[in-house]
Amino acid sequence: MDIQSNLMQMCRQKSGSAGFANQLAELLNVNTDAAYRRIRGTTLLTIEEVQLICNHFNISFDAVMNYESKMVPFQFNSMFKDKFQIIEYLQNIAQALQSMSAQKTAKMSMTAMDIPYFRQFGYKALSRFKMFFWQRSVLNLEAYRYKKFDATEEMDDFEDIAEKIYFYYHGIPSYEIWAPETLDSTLKQIQYYKDSGLFASAEDIALVCNSIDELVNKLEREAEMGQKKILNEYGALSSSFEMYQSDIFLSNNSIQAFIGDEVFTYITFNTFNHLMTYQPEFSEECRLWVEQLRSKSVLLSEVSEKLRYQFFVGLRKKVDDLRRL
């Protein structure tokens, strides 16, 4: 595939619209026929057009040049600059999940070193705690410097976006590899806040722990059924779900989104940020790593009743131990 074809393919993926040619025509100030000629490659793009397209669709030209090489370009959101807004970051995630949930060929794989935010956003106290933790302890926002966490305090527009992320996640078939340590990072964050006097009251700790219990209960039911299901004010969604238990320590949260023949690979870093690439060779390496890990893991969905029970008993014990500390 040549460079212009790579660029057009990436733009089409980014646009998420059936009217990509019209969108391109408007961007380049040309007619639709001229846009189609550029999409097909019969008319070569000028340098100025390439710059305009890359800026508009937020695509690095390095990603286009190195699409099939051993150099792997990534896209990421810079969190520690003035322009970063966590709410915009979450809106982009919600839009991507909404688009995926509407496509019949879409599916995802996930390794869960930590509780996936797709899951944790379905539970008010836990969702609010994570939002608070990210903004106070990761981003070090001045507005949170002297605040304590109150689980009953609403978080403005975050609530709606978090619920949308949780909702659309249920419409995407997935297989997920969890580990006995998956809860540990979140439980340590709660313990740190407890030891540092950063909870407004003991009741707030209990509410967050109760949220985790609710998450674990729903996760166990869905693992047993082999299906994710949700019914709320946004509607009803369901999709197939395979859950695996790995006793090998998971070194990162990795997500691969498959849409037809296209693969998007996300690697988490800096607590909740992620790197994303379309690069086929890297994505295939990650896919093979996940498949290798899956082959050594225990399927908990629909089968393995005894092992599934023991796995969830272990998760609940960790939450109960935190309550007693």
Q: Which of 85-99, 168-182, 199-213 has the lowest mean pLDDT?
A: 85-99
Q: What token pair was written down for 179?
A: 């580990």
Q: Which tens digits make up the pLDDT trace of 197-223?
A: 999 999 999 999 999 999 999 999 999
CATH topology of domain 3-65: 434 Repressor (Amino-terminal Domain) (1.10.260)
**What mean pLDDT do residues 83-90 have?**
76
Give one word for 259, left, alpha or beta, with left for phi > 0 and alpha for psi -120 to 50: beta
Q: Are 112 and 175 in contact (CB under 8 A)?
A: no
Residue spans in the chain of domains classed CATH 1.10.260:
3-65
Residues 6+ apart with CB under 8 A from 276: 74, 75, 76, 264, 265, 266
Q: What token pair was written down for 280?
A: 């086929």
Task: Check pLDDT > 60 for residue 69.
Answer: no
Alpha carbons 57 and 118: distance in angstroms, whole number: 25
Amino acid making up residue 146: Y
Task: Check pLDDT > 80 for residue 250.
Answer: no
Task: Check pLDDT > 90 for residue 182.
Answer: yes
Coil, strand, or helix at residue 255?
strand
Task: Check pLDDT > 90 for residue 230.
Answer: yes
Task: Check pLDDT > 60 for residue 1.
Answer: no
Amino acid making up residue 31: N
**What mean pLDDT do residues 226-245 have?**
93
Task: Check pLDDT > 60 for residue 134.
Answer: yes
Inter-axis angle of helices 158-169 and 86-101, nearest 10: 30
Q: Which of 12-21, 26-35, 102-111, 294-303 has the lowest mean pLDDT?
A: 12-21
Q: Minimal CA–CA distance to 7: which of 46, 70, 50, 55?
A: 50
Q: Which of 41-45, 78-82, 121-125, 292-296 has the lowest mean pLDDT?
A: 78-82
Tally Cβ neighbours within 10 Å of residue 53: 22
| DSSP annotation of 250 | P
